Amino acid sequence: MQDTTKTHGWARWVQQASSAILQVERLALMVLMGGLTLLILLNVVTRYTGMPIYWVDEAAVYLVVWLCFVGASAMTRLRMDFAVTLLTDYLGEAAARRLKATATAGVFLFGCAMLAMCWLWMDPVGIASHGFDAKEFAADSFNFLYTERTQTLNWPTWVVQLILPIFGIAFTIHAAANLVEDLGLQPRATVAGFDLGNAEATVN
């Protein structure tokens, strides 16, 4: 056990990074759910009194979007994502383990592809080369991400859509942590702070 840990120290680092991100996501989920509850209550009260606040609906929608992405990332590490086990149920233990690792590798590659997409879409090098002048950048690249604003909150659109690269980074690191465990490079880590643990533990 000691030799394995020493040889695959990078795998332990991946697990530790995933655990740290998961704890941040846990706090973020609590804050987002609390904020969403307050916005819904505020919306009900102001509408009932005949003084609705026009930006509350849009803010609630964005909170739900962020909740979905943060929750999806956390569920990946908790292994609560959807899985079809019709094939693995009929395979031997070794073959099922290899197939599971292959599926986890596919999840990791999807995360890498999403990060590449976010890099091309948000183009941080391009906007920096234009001195962070959004209008000049949009005129040259026809990428209007940094010039658009939300309808009622009047926030820059890119601020709201930052959840995509944030999700991509967290999702990819979680997938990498799952992969090193499925490949046997590190023992399965115990996840703290979540009552459900993971889907496998729940089922068993």
Q: What string of pLDDT tens digits covers the 204 residues of the chain?
A: 444 444 568 888 999 999 999 999 999 999 999 999 999 999 999 998 888 898 999 999 999 999 999 999 999 999 887 776 767 777 777 887 888 899 999 999 999 999 999 999 999 999 999 999 999 999 999 999 999 999 999 999 999 999 999 999 999 999 999 999 998 888 888 777 676 544 444 433
Provide the whole-model pTM. 0.85
- Do the Cβ atoms of 73 and 171 come closer than 8 Å? yes
pLDDT value at residue 1: 41
Per-residue pLDDT, 193: 67
The residues, ordered by sequence, that sit 6+ positions from 67 with a Cβ below 8 Å of its Cβ are 29, 32, 33, 36
Q: Show me where the domains of the chain are located.
A: 2-185
The predicted pLDDT at position 2 comes to 42
Residues near 39 by beta carbon (within 8 Å), at least 6 away in sequence: 56, 59, 60, 63
* pLDDT of 97: 84
Decide: residue 61, CB within 10 A, 0-12 exposed, 13-18 middle, 19+ buried. Answer: middle
DSSP per-residue codes, 139-198: HHH---TTT-B-SSS--BHHHHTTHHHHHHHHHHHHHHHHHHHHTTSSPPPPPPS-TT--
User: In angstroms, what CA-CA distances link 40 with 61, 100, 155, 171?
Assistant: 11, 41, 20, 29
φ/ψ of residue 156, rounded to 5: -60, 135
Q: Is 127 exposed, middle or buried (0-12, 13-18, 19+ CB in 10 A)?
A: buried
